[in-house]
Amino acid sequence: MKRTNTLAVRPLSDAGEQLLRDLLDASAALWNEVNYQRLMRYNNEDGFEGEDVWDADTGALEGRYKDVLGASTA
């Protein structure tokens, strides 16, 4: 059985809405970049043997997104 938390978020102001949109945009961009790096590692010309896609170097992305998402999230 899978469990899912569903939230309804309603910003209280226009500034809050913009902050929420920035947060969601940065989160989606980070997710896409991490998955792209994993895909490139999986499709490596040398083959997939001995390499794990979860060991992809994503540390450089942290610096790009920690201002918006926070260091612990990025």
13-71: pLDDT as tens digits: 999 999 999 988 988 998 898 888 888 877 776 655 556 767 767 777 777 888 778 77
pTM of the model: 0.67
- Crossing angle of helices 14-42 and 59-69, rounded to 10°: 170
- Residue 50 is predicted with a pLDDT of 58
Q: What is the pLDDT of residue 62?
A: 75
